Every structure is written in structure tokens, then in C-alpha cells.
Amino acid sequence: MKIALITSLLSGGGAARVLVNMANYWDAQGHDIVIVTFESEGADPFYDISTGVSLVHLGLNRSSQGFICALSNNWKRLRKIRETVVALAPNAVISFVDTANVLSLLALAGTSIPVVVSERVDPAHEDIGKMWEMLRFLSYPLASNVVVQTREAARYFSKYFIKDLRVIPNPVVPPAEFDSTLISAPFIMGAGRLCRQKRFDVLIDAFSLIANTHPDWNLCIAGEGPLKRELQSQTYSLGLENRIFFPGHIKEIGGLFRQADVFVLSSDYEGFPNVLCEAMCAGLPCVSSDCPSGPSDIIEDGKSGFLVPPGDKDALAHSLATLVKSKTLRKTIGREAAEAVKKWKTPIIMGKWEELL
């Protein structure tokens, strides 16, 4: 089967990671896979793509100055997507992320190519703007299938006139075992884009509440983003600049998972958090905000991890202190965590995608 995977960016992030993992898996299964990205030629993907996977750059990620310019640019985008995909003649297209989904559906309307669109975050909490939201409402009925990652996200689309709505979680890929000596153990770990959604400010505040009583513990937050300076300033204001570390965007964080003692997801909302599943797969005891959507589908509170209210630094600090105090509890929770995510192993989840196709 020839499958085209469409995305706006391959420069990092959870959606790009899932797309590349899917492409590499299908390539290994003998399918003809091509990734179509809106990026310009020469933009290197952040994650390693198998040599058997083709990569096509469309050069569509340009900014628009004003409404007329936006209309013109989007018309050109539609023409370019249509011409490229029709020439590729895939058996199916899978598009990733809201705006790329809309453009793919509109561009390929009237062709005989089935288009599957995949949402990557909880749409109830990701504001894409009124115009894009209207276009999503009008275009998603054109999709052969719409795939979301959680039941909660599926409820959002119940008001849409969708032919086939399916819940397929992300495949959990065990983290690669890379050595890492970035942080002195023991340490608590967080990872993700340094933006408001991820609420690393809450994690830093929670760590500050237990830092004095556990002076041998550190905190590591891997990732890059617009709030990096603000978060670093927060650590200085708390006097924790020597105990909170920002190693940047790490391509393979398996080494950190293997070295860390506790993992934290502090987000306000998610889709189906890859990084949480990977941490659990590595046997890390995890504390997650009970945010929409994903964590409550992944963690059984008190057994395979701990769930705390989003934005509640005191509750987060309490759960962290509980794990920090007991190595035995960390091992027990870690074992349960690794067992809990086995149901989302790559062959199982990719089997659901193959059934859909």
C-alpha cells in the first residue's frame, strides 16, 4: 500500500514524532511511504526517518500580511498540495494537526483519494481561531475518517457531521537506551515545549516546596520554547538556579528516562501525551496533572502513577514528596507504569491503523 503522510512541520514535537514512528514502522512492513511536509527544501527533520521513506517539501510555511494575502497564500497552498498528492497517487492520505488537516481535505476534495485526518491535541482546549474552526467544521465531513486519541476528544467532534470517527491512542515506542550524564542523580524530570500549555512554572514552584527538605534532589526540564528565559528567571528568583537544569531539546531522551527517578507532566491540556507514555514504558514513576485529555486514560491514580489537579502546585509537591521519600514506592509504581502501557505497544496500535486503512 502507498500511504502519504502530510504535516506542516517535522522540526520537533509530539505530532512529528508519532508521524515519523508510523512512517518508519510501515516502511519496515514493506509499504510505500512518503512524507509530505509544508516546510521548505533543506529543512531537516528532527527525528530520524528510515532511508526507505520518501520526503517531499512543499515550501508552504510562509506568513501572510493581511486578509487578502492570507487568501492568496492559502489558495496557492491548496493548489500545491493537490498537484503534489495527485501526482504521488497514494492509496490513502493521513494528515496530521488541525490546520494541515483542513488544507489537505479542501485540496483533495473531488479526487478519489481517501483522506484520513488525525487530531493531536484536545480540540476543546486548543484555540485555532474562529476562521479555522469554521473551516474545520465544514471540511471534516469530507474526511474518510477522523482519528482522535481519547474518548474526551471524540466527544468534542460529536457535533460534527463525520462519516467515521475513531479513537486510536498513540503507539508507545520504548525509549532508546542512550547514556546521559547531564544531571546529577537523584532528579525529577519534565520534558516538552517550553510554552504556557505545559505549565513548567507550576512544576518549578512545586519543586521549590520540597527542595529544602530534600536537598540532594534536582530537577531537569528538557525542551525548548518561548518561555525558556522566563522559566530560568523563575528558578533564579527561587534561589534554585544550581538545582534546576534546562538541557534544551534532546533528540533521544531515553538516557534521561533511564537516569531519572521521577517524571512529571504538568500540562493544562494534552492530546495523548507521548512523553508520559515513554516515561512509564521506561519504568519511571510518574506524576501527571489530571488534565484533558489523556492522563486519566493512561494512569490509574495511586497504582501506576499519581494524578493531581492541573495548576495545583501544592498537590503536585505532595505527590512528589511521597515518591521522593520512598525508593520502594518508586520501584513499585514504576513496575506498574511499565505494565500499564503495554496495551499501546506499536504493533497493537498500528494494527488499528491498518484495520482502518
Predicted pLDDT of residue 44: 85
Residues 195 and 329 in one domain: yes
C-alpha cell at 261: 527517578
Residue 11 placed within a domain: yes
Residues 162 and 203 in one domain: no
What's the mean pLDDT when you consider all of the chain? 92
Whose CA is closest to 252, among 348, 203, 182?
182
Predicted pLDDT of residue 262: 98
**Containing structural domain, residue 112:** 2-167
CATH number where 88 lies? 3.40.50.2000
Per-residue pLDDT tens digits for 150-182: 888 899 998 899 999 999 999 988 877 655 555
Residue 181 placed within a domain: no
What is the torsion angle, in degrees rounded to the nearest 10, for the CA atoms of residue 37, residue 41, residue 44 and residue 48? 60
Domain boundary among 133, 167, 201: 167
Residues 129 and 22 in one domain: yes
Residues 162 and 197 in one domain: no
- Provide the number of structural domains found in the chain: 2
Q: Residue 337 above 90 pLDDT?
A: yes
Residue 182 placed within a domain: no
Cβ-contact 307, 295 below 8 angstroms: yes
Predicted pLDDT of residue 206: 98
Residues 151 and 270 in one domain: no
Residues 9 and 133 in one domain: yes
Q: Which range is least confidently modeled, 18-32, 53-67, 130-144, 287-301?
A: 53-67
Per-residue pLDDT tens digits for 68-112: 667 778 888 899 999 999 999 999 999 999 999 999 999 999 999
Residues 101 and 218 in one domain: no
Strand, helix or coil for residue 243: coil
Residue 349 placed within a domain: no
Residues 57 and 206 in one domain: no
Residue 352 placed within a domain: no
Residues 8 and 135 in one domain: yes
265: pLDDT confidence band, cut at 50, 70 and 90? very high
Q: How far apart are CA 60 and CA 313, in angstroms?
A: 41
Residues 225 and 101 in one domain: no
Domain boundary among 120, 135, 167: 167
Residues 156 and 196 in one domain: no
Whose CA is closest to 122, among 197, 199, 19, 47?
197
Q: Residue 317 above 70 pLDDT?
A: yes
Residues 163 and 227 in one domain: no
Domain boundary among 167, 201, 231: 167
Residue 179 placed within a domain: no
Residue 294 placed within a domain: yes
Q: Which range is least confidently modeled, 90-99, 124-133, 202-211, 346-355?
A: 124-133
127: pLDDT confidence band, cut at 50, 70 and 90? confident
Q: Who contacts 9 (Cβ-Cβ below 8 Å, separation ≥6)?
A: 15, 16, 37, 38, 39, 61
Q: Give this prediction's pTM.
A: 0.85
Cβ-contact 267, 291 below 8 angstroms: yes
Sheet holding 262-265, edge to edge: 244-248, 218-222, 187-191, 262-265, 286-289, 306-308
